[in-house]
């Protein structure tokens, strides 16, 4: 069945302009709130939905500007033979170039033959559905698809109210599974008659006094009601249509009474079974009502893990679970720049895919801080907690998340940052200064608008802390190291890094005297970051250090260090 090759939206709700060529399988739209994700799903539904009327309001126009008409064009490929008929649709058949995403008005060799369905609304709020090609643009009235074809290509919407798909109503997935239909006309009429008669038999004893009074009053007034009035169901109030037949479980309980998650799973499975006749599915907030393991099953039912996808799915999500389960080629970040919307594919590069698996939350943020290692992540988190406790706005509230580049070579941080930059995120890179990154990497990152925070004088984070914090805070850092490390390890590290010149006792004596020398501070910085044995080398440990020690001591710390911290936080909050 038909699949969407290209979507073009003009002046519809949150979207002023969008052109997007989706994948033939799963398309998951992500991005910050109010970025237009749900608008794209609604645009598909409005254009392709099998409906004769549609309520349109001024609020459906972009920026409420009714002078600019709404225009939605959906180009369909993989067409059924009936829709490729030259006799029926010759003037409307066009060509789609998958390599460029361009639609040419004339089909030709090497291009897929497609049809474009157009939906337009002007200030009169009257929707018009039609087929579109440049050759027929002046045809009046415009030609639309026959109802049978519209019903065949209409997308199914997996919403929060599943009742319509769990009964044999018009458009229900149950009607798309097979051609079979229940011949129910006579049976429903008979059922209604039996219901009326049965109700009267049971109601008469309970309403006997009332019925006697009605009979006596009618007879006294000469109104003929026969020997007695009866209580029956009104024939006009009891009617049965296709929607009266619905799915029930073995105990007779309607399946629409199942939980939200269960009904979504069932309906998704039914759409999968009906994929040969209707294979475009729309799902807004796919995680709604589902635990992680059931959400994974739902994604599997929709074909997320299959090479040959049975359905073309358009979904939105704010769930890290969804991002972890999907491939980068199935994820599209919705962005708006200068009034033009884009749906940018995350892509399947190793850097992008590994970041999705480890830090899916970052793809749901507005701003991303890529940190060289876990210690930097912990420092930012801890300082943010400290300032939030003082009444300042948190980074989370400003839409900021963090990514741990996991150390390694100095360029890794910038490679991960570049993956986010290409998708329109605001990105900062926070780095140690003990290894030099490639100059070209840094220049490209900054030229693309990235913010670069780096420690001074060839220092790593621990070096900067011990060099920049006041004496009391250095003493607290040393004490925290003693609490976190096994007995004797801190002393051993100090002796190793000082080549045996000083010991823990010597350092503690300096602190008790009121100050630490620059040489001692340098030794403590190196001793605290010995590879695989660092005193604070984890997110949690450094987070606690930053919240309990660094934050309270900042106002008395070295101005250069404070400037680096304040600069990063000011940049992170700037776009909130």
* Token pair belonging to 544: 């606690």
Tell me the C-alpha distance between 225 and 227, whole Å. Answer: 7
CATH of 359-454, one of 3.40.50, 3.30.70, 3.30.160, 1.10.3710: 3.40.50
Which pLDDT band holds residue 206 (cuts at 50, 70, 90)?
confident
At residue 224, the pLDDT reads: 72
Tell me the C-alpha distance between 84 and 189, whole Å. Answer: 42
Q: Look at 172-176, 315-319, 362-366, 467-471 and tell me which has the smallest mean pLDDT.
A: 172-176
At residue 466, the pLDDT reads: 97
Name the more confident of 60 and 247.
60
Please report, to the nearest 10 degrees, the dihedral formed by the alpha carbons of residues 41, 59, 33, 343 taken in order.
Answer: 40
At residue 467, the pLDDT reads: 97
Do 359-454 and 1-167+278-348 have the same topology in CATH? yes
Share of the chain above pLDDT 70, in %: 86
Reply yes or no on whether the pLDDT at 513 is more than 80: yes
Q: Look at 162-176, 495-509, 524-538 and tell me which has the smallest mean pLDDT.
A: 162-176
Reply yes or no on whether the pLDDT at 159 is more than 90: no
pLDDT digits (tens, 9 = 90+) for 95-105: 999 999 999 99
Q: Is 222 exposed, middle or buried (0-12, 13-18, 19+ CB in 10 A)?
A: exposed
Tell me what the mean pLDDT of segment 218-227 comes to.
71
Query: What is the pLDDT of the chain when averaged over all its residues?
Result: 87
- 112-121 and 127-132: which strand pairing? antiparallel
pLDDT digits (tens, 9 = 90+) for 435-464: 888 899 999 999 999 999 999 999 999 999
Name the more confident of 171 and 427.
427
Q: What predicted TM-score, i.e. pTM, was given to this entire model?
A: 0.81
Q: Where are the domains of the chain?
A: 1-167+278-348, 185-244, 359-454, 461-544+556-568
**Fold topology of 1-167+278-348:** Rossmann fold (3.40.50)
Tell me the C-alpha distance between 401 and 419, whole Å. Answer: 15
Name the more confident of 440 and 238.
440
């Amino acid at each position: 069945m038909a699949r969407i090759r290209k979507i073009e939206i003009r002046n519809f709700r949150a979207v002023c302009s969008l052109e997007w060529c989706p994948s033939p399988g799963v398309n998951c739209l992500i991005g910050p709130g109010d970025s237009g994700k749900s608008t794209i799903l609604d645009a598909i539904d409005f254009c392709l939905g099998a409906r004769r009327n549609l309520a349109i309001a001024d609020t459906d126009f972009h920026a409420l500007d009714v002078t600019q008409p709404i225009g939605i064009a959906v180009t369909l490929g993989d067409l059924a033979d009936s829709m490729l008929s030259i006799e029926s649709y010759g003037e409307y058949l066009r060509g789609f170039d998958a390599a460029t995403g361009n639609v040419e008005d004339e089909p030709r060799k090497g291009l897929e033959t497609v049809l474009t369905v157009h939906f337009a609304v002007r200030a009169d709020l009257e929707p018009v559905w039609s087929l579109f090609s440049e050759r027929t643009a002046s045809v009046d009235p415009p030609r639309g698809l026959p109802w049978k074809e519209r019903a065949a290509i209409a997308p199914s919407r997996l919403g929060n109210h599943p009742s319509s798909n769990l009964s044999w109503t018009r458009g229900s997935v149950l009607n798309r599974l097979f051609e079979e239909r229940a011949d129910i006309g006579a049976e429903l009429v008979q059922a209604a008659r039996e219901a009326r008669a049965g109700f009267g038999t049971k109601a008469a004893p309970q309403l006997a006094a009332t019925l006697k009074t009605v009979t006596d009053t009618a007879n006294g007034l000469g109104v003929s009601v026969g020997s007695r009035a009866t209580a029956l169901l009104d024939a006009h109030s009891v009617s049965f249509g296709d929607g009266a037949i619905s799915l029930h479980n073995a105990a007779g309980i309607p399946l629409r009474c199942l939980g939200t998650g269960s009904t979504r799973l069932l309906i998704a499975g039914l759409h999968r079974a009906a994929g040969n006749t209707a294979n475009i599915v729309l799902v807004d907030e796919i995680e709604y009502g589902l635990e992680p393991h059931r959400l994974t099953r739902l994604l599997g039912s929709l074909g997320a893990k299959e090479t040959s996808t049975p359905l073309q799915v358009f979904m939105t999500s704010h769930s890290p679970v969804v991002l972890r389960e999907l491939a980068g080629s199935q994820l599209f970040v919705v962005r708006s720049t200068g009034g033009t919307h884009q749906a940018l594919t995350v892509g399947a590069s190793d850097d992008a895919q590994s970041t999705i698996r480890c830090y899916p939350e970052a793809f749901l943020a507005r701003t991303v801080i890529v940190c060289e290692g876990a210690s930097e992540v912990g420092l930012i988190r801890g300082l943010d907690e400290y300032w939030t406790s003082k009444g300042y706005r948190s980074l989370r509230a400003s839409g900021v998340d963090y990514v741990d580049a996991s150390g390694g070579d100095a360029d890794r941080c910038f490679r991960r940052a570049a993956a986010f930059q290409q998708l329109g995120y605001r990105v900062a890179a926070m780095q140690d200064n003990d290894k030099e990154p490639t100059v070209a990497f840094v220049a490209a990152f900054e030229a693309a608008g990235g913010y670069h925070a780096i420690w001074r004088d060839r220092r790593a984070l621990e070096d900067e802390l011990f060099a920049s914090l006041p004496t009391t805070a250095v003493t607290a850092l040393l004490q925290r190291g003693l609490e976190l490390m096994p007995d004797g390890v801190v002393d051993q590290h100090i002796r190793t890094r000082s080549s045996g010149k000083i010991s823990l006792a010597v350092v503690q004596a300096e602190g008790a005297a009121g100050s630490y020398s620059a040489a001692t501070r340098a030794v403590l910085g190196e001793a605290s970051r010995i590879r695989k044995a660092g005193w604070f080398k984890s997110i949690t440990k450094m987070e606690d250090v930053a919240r309990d020690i660094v934050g309270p001591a900042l106002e008395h710390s070295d101005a250069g260090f404070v400037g680096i911290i304040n600069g990063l936080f000011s940049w992170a909050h700037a776009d909130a």
